[in-house]
């Protein structure tokens, strides 16, 4: 079903929706999805798109071309996508033993839900739950490539102890998984390619160690939008998890993964006041609409709470949201910028491109779907939340 088929008769004017609201450009989104698919086809690796960025069944169907394999960050996401017919799901946050009953319940519904872990304590809990439910719960061992967060380093003897606890305890060892979060700090294609290679080598090395000891590792999973776009070789990897590429954002633009014209979501705001003596233009999109995420603060170019464009997508030179309250955004020329403050009277609508697509999306109930520059909404898609 295409977007226009699904939404026939639903062409509300963009101007009729009160601000602030979350706009999604479906053409940019489709382009972003297709670009990553083409890259992974060339590398010969499957995609397991991440649902955490958008939390929308409609977008999940587009990213996975139907009801294909997906990655989730919460059991709530797993349940929502299960309800929508998805059957191949990896829950990619280290399992808390208390959540295994919900995992088992989803598996009884026919969902091939796999979990991840990095300790013998978790492996024993998964083995216990497998025996209790009479179902070998599949688990991936989380590998740490760069000291970013969770996981076992590839040379940690604990990997084999975890594998043993799973297999001997009655669970399924499905493989290894890594998330190289430090790649978000890279700034050149060579750095990004090196981070991707480091990630690949770590997780493939862990898989080889398992196999050398007689354990299976059918799945070898790497992550992240930067890795997916900059890896030059993914030999030994079976799948890539990526999510933010569906929308992109200012952090991805700062890393060099995309340009501003690729960013598919924006917050539409209305000018509600001026402080000419301070060089401020005030809007009704504060942090409640943008999120408090300031991911570009540590990049070469700090974009404040967001880059401001006209409704047709053209950026106002050097205009960013420099501060926010809950329901106020203060726009100004960026520090060091020398463009004149544009003339935007009370009532003018603007778009704000976000630092971090996942964080901004989470602030909203729904997407208003329309191509940038269009005045007609073609669809409205719900965003769920919770755990």
- Interface residue with a second copy, options 13, 44, 85, 147 (CB under 8 A): 147
Nearest approach, Cβ of residue 289 and a second copy (Å) = 8
Residue 291 interacts with a second copy (CB under 8 A): yes or no: yes
The SS3 of residue 13 is strand
- Cα separation of 360 and 71, whole Å? 20
379-382 and 307-309 strand pairing: unpaired
Cis peptide before 20 (omega within 30 of 0): yes
Distance set, CA 86 to CA 65, 180, 209, 247, 252 (Å): 11, 26, 32, 21, 28
Tokens of 179: 């998330």
Contact mark string toward a second copy, 327..366, x via CB under 8 A: xx-x--------------xxx----------xx--xxxx-
| CB 268 within 8 Å of CB 350 | yes
Tokens of 91: 């829950």
Residue 5 interacts with a second copy (CB under 8 A): yes or no: no
- Interface residue with a second copy, options 19, 198, 299, 374 (CB under 8 A): 19
Nearest approach, Cβ of residue 158 and a second copy (Å) = 11
- Interface residue with a second copy, options 249, 262, 284, 318 (CB under 8 A): 284
- Cα separation of 70 and 112, whole Å? 11
Nearest approach, Cβ of residue 311 and a second copy (Å) = 14
* Touching a second copy, residues 79-98 (CB under 8 A): 93-98
Distance set, CA 115 to CA 118, 214, 259 (Å): 11, 21, 34
Contact mark string toward a second copy, 45..64, x via CB under 8 A: -------x------------
Interface size with a second copy, residues (CB under 8 A) = 59
Q: Which is nearer to a second copy, 88 or 327 (CB)?
A: 327
Burial 188-227 (b: 16+ CB within 10 A, else e): eeebbbebbbbbbebbbbbbebbeeeebebebbbbbbbbb
- Cα separation of 82 and 102, whole Å? 12
Nearest approach, Cβ of residue 1 and a second copy (Å) = 26
Q: Which is nearer to a second copy, 25 or 79 (CB)?
A: 79
88-91 and 70-72 strand pairing: parallel
Residue 21 interacts with a second copy (CB under 8 A): yes or no: yes
- Interface residue with a second copy, options 11, 12, 35, 385 (CB under 8 A): 385
Contact mark string toward a second copy, 183..222, x via CB under 8 A: ----------------------------------------
Sequence-distant (6+) residues with CB within 8 A of 139 are 95, 114, 115, 116, 117, 123, 126, 166, 171, 172, 173, 174
- Interface residue with a second copy, options 273, 337, 340, 373 (CB under 8 A): 273
Part of the chain binding a second copy (CB under 8 A), chosen from 4-12, 133-141, 143-151, 196-204 = 143-151
The residues binding a second copy (CB under 8 A) are 15, 18-21, 52, 73-75, 93-99, 102, 118-119, 121-122, 125, 147, 149-150, 181, 270-275, 278, 282, 284, 287-289, 291-294, 325-328, 330, 345-347, 358-359, 362-365, 385-387
């Amino acid at each position: 079903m295409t977007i226009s088929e699904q939404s026939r008769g639903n062409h509300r004017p963009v101007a009729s929706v009160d601000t602030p609201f979350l706009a999604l450009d479906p053409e940019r989104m489709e382009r972003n999805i297709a670009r990553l698919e083409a890259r992974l086809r060339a590398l010969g690796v499957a995609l397991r798109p991440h649902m955490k960025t958008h939390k929308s069944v409609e977008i999940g169907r587009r990213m996975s071309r139907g009801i294909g394999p997906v990655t989730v960050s919460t059991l709530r996401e797993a349940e929502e996508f299960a309800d929508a017919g998805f059957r191949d799901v990896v829950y990619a946050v280290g399992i808390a033993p208390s959540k295994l009953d919900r995992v088992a319940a989803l598996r009884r519904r026919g969902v091939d839900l796999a979990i991840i872990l990095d300790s013998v304590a978790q492996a024993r809990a998964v083995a216990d739950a497998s025996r209790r439910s009479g179902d070998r719960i599949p688990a991936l061992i989380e590998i740490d490539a760069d000291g970013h967060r969770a996981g076992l380093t590839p040379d940690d003897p604990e990997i084999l102890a975890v594998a043993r606890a799973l297999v001997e305890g009655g669970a399924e060892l499905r493989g290894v998984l890594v998330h190289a979060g430090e790649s978000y700090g890279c700034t050149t294609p060579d750095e990004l390619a090196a981070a991707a290679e480091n990630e690949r080598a770590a997780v493939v090395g862990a898989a080889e160690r398992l196999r050398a000891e007689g354990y299976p590792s059918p799945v070898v999973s790497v992550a992240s939008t930067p890795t997916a776009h900059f890896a030059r070789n993914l030999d030994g990897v079976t799948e890539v998890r990526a999510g933010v590429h569906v929308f992109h954002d200012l952090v991805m633009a700062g890393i060099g993964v995309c340009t501003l014209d690729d960013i598919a979501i924006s917050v539409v705001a209305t000018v509600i006041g001026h402080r000419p003596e301070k060089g401020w233009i005030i809007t009704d999109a504060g942090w409640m609409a943008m999120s408090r995420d300031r991911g570009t603060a540590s990049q070469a170019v700090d974009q404040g709470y967001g880059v401001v464009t006209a409704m047709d997508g053209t950026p106002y030179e050097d205009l960013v949201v420099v501060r926010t309250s809950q329901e106020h955004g203060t726009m100004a020329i960026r520090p060091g910028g020398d463009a004149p403050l544009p003339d935007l009277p009370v009532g003018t609508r603007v778009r704000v491109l976000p630092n971090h697509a996942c964080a901004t999306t989470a602030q909203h109930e729904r997407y208003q779907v329309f191509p940038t520059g269009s005045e007609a909404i073609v669809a409205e898609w719900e965003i769920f939340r919770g755990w």
